[in-house]
């Protein structure tokens, strides 16, 4: 399968600071990446779809000014949690979708996730 790298894997920050999470597709180009959020013992909740070279599409109820997404290249998308507060503490997971040129197209491959703790 394809490899998606997510960094950092764990971050602790003070309330009011901003945190950036990176998602990279290492061995394929991804025009579309996705960001999810997961609370303990719950399923993944899609936050937004990140499209290379254009604005992200946010799911209903997700604050786009709070969760800034940038997809500047075909292998990198970033999620910035701005002015983080304790309620933003969660497990954030990204995925990248293979395109038609990949041997297995239209499959989402996931990063290992980032655990964010806001104090």
Partner 1 sequence: DAKTTQPTSMDCAEGRAANLPCNHSTISGNEYVYWYRQIHSQGPQYIIHGLKNNETNEMASLIITEDRKSSTLILPHATLRDTAVYYCIVRVPTTSGTYKYIFGTGTRLKVLA
What does the binding site for partner 1 look like in residue numbers (CB under 8 A)? Answer: 1, 4, 6, 31-32, 34, 36, 43-46, 49, 51, 57, 91, 93, 95, 97, 106-113, 115
Query: For 54-59, which contacts have Cβ atoms below 8 Å and span 24 or more sequence positions?
Result: none
By beta-carbon proximity to partner 1, the closer residue of 44 and 68 is 44
27 is written with which tokens? 């061995």
| Half-sphere CA count of 76, side-chain side, radius 13 A | 8
By beta-carbon proximity to partner 1, the closer residue of 89 and 108 is 108
By beta-carbon proximity to partner 1, the closer residue of 14 and 53 is 53
By beta-carbon proximity to partner 1, the closer residue of 20 and 91 is 91
Shortest Cβ distance from residue 16 to partner 1 (Å)? 27
Shortest Cβ distance from residue 33 to partner 1 (Å)? 10
Shortest Cβ distance from residue 1 to partner 1 (Å)? 6
Identify which of 32, 43, 100 has the alpha carbon closest to the alpha carbon of residue 69: 32
Rounded-to-integer distance, Cα 89 and Cα 116, Å: 5
Identify which of 12, 10, 1, 7 has the alpha carbon closest to the alpha carbon of residue 23: 7
Q: Give the number of other Cβ atoms within 10 Å of residue 98's Cβ.
A: 21
Shortest Cβ distance from residue 41 to partner 1 (Å)? 9
């Amino acid at each position: 399968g394809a490899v998606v790298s997510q960094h950092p894997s764990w971050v602790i920050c003070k309330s009011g600071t901003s945190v950036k999470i990176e998602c990279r597709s290492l061995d394929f180009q991804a025009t579309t990446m996705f960001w999810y959020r997961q609370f303990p013992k719950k399923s993944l909740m899609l936050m937004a779809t990140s499209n290379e070279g254009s604005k992200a599409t946010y799911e209903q109820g997700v604050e786009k000014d709070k969760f800034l997404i940038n997809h500047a290249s075909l292998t990198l998308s970033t999620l910035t949690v701005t002015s983080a507060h304790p309620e933003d503490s969660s497990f954030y997971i990204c995925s990248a979708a293979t395109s038609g040129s990949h041997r297995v197209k239209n499959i989402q491959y996931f990063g290992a996730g980032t655990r964010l703790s806001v104090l």
